[in-house]
Amino acid sequence: MICFCAYSGKWQRSKYVGVSLVGKTIAIMGFGKVGSEVARRAKGLGMDVIAHDPYAPVDRARAIGVDLVSFDDAISTADFISLHMPLTPSTTKIFNDETFAKMTKGVRLINVARGGVVDEEALLRALDNGTVAQAALDVFFEEPPPKDSKLVHHENVTVTPHLGASTTEAQEGVALEIAEAVIGALKGELAATAVNAPMVSAEVLAELSPYVVLAEKLGRLAVQLVAGGSGIKAVKVVYSSARDPDDLDTRILRGMVTKGIVEPISSAFVNIVNADYVAKQRGLRIIEGQILLDGSPEIPINSIQVQLANVESKFAGALSDDGDIRVEGKVKDGTPHLTLVGPFSVDVSLEGNLLLCRQVDQPGIIGKVGSILGTMNLNVNFMSVGRIAPGKQAIMAIGIDEEPDKEALKLIGETPSVQEFVFLKL
Distance CA 222, CA 215 (A): 11
What's the pLDDT tens digit per position in 64-116? 999 999 999 999 999 999 999 988 888 999 999 999 999 999 999 999 999 99
Neighbours of 168 (CB within 10 A): 7
Are 257 and 284 in contact, with CB atoms under 8 Å apart? Answer: no
CB 135 within 8 A of CB 110: yes
- Per-residue pLDDT of 368-412, as tens digits, reads 898 999 989 998 999 999 998 888 899 999 999 988 898 998 999
Per the CB < 8 A criterion, the answer to whether 422 and 316 are in contact is no
Kindly tell me if the per-residue pLDDT of 31 is higher than 70: yes
The secondary structure of 275-334, three-state, reads HHHHHHHCCCEEEEEEEECCCCCCCCCCEEEEEEECCCECCHHHECCCCCEEEEEEEECC
Q: Indicate if the pLDDT at residue 201 is higher than 70.
A: no
Give the pLDDT score at 58. Answer: 82
Radius of gyration of the chain (CA): 25
Among residues 259, 247, 270, 239, which one has the least CA distance to residue 201? 247
pLDDT (tens digit per residue) in 277-334: 888 888 899 999 999 998 878 888 999 999 999 888 989 999 998 889 999 999 999 8
Angle at 277 between CA 273 and CA 283, to 5 degrees: 145
Reported as a single tens digit per residue, the pLDDT across 34-60 is: 999 999 999 999 999 999 998 888 888
pLDDT at 343: 94
pTM reported for the whole predicted model: 0.71
| DSSP secondary structure of 349-418 | E--SEEEEEEEE--TTHHHHHHHHHHHTT--EEEEEEEESSTTSEEEEEEEESS---HHHHHHHHTSTTE
Q: Give the catalytic positions in this structure.
A: 114, 143, 162
pLDDT at 296: 77
Amino acid at 409: L
To the nearest whole percent, how much of the chain has pLDDT over 70?
93
Whether the ω angle into residue 144 lies within 30 degrees of 0, i.e. cis, is: yes
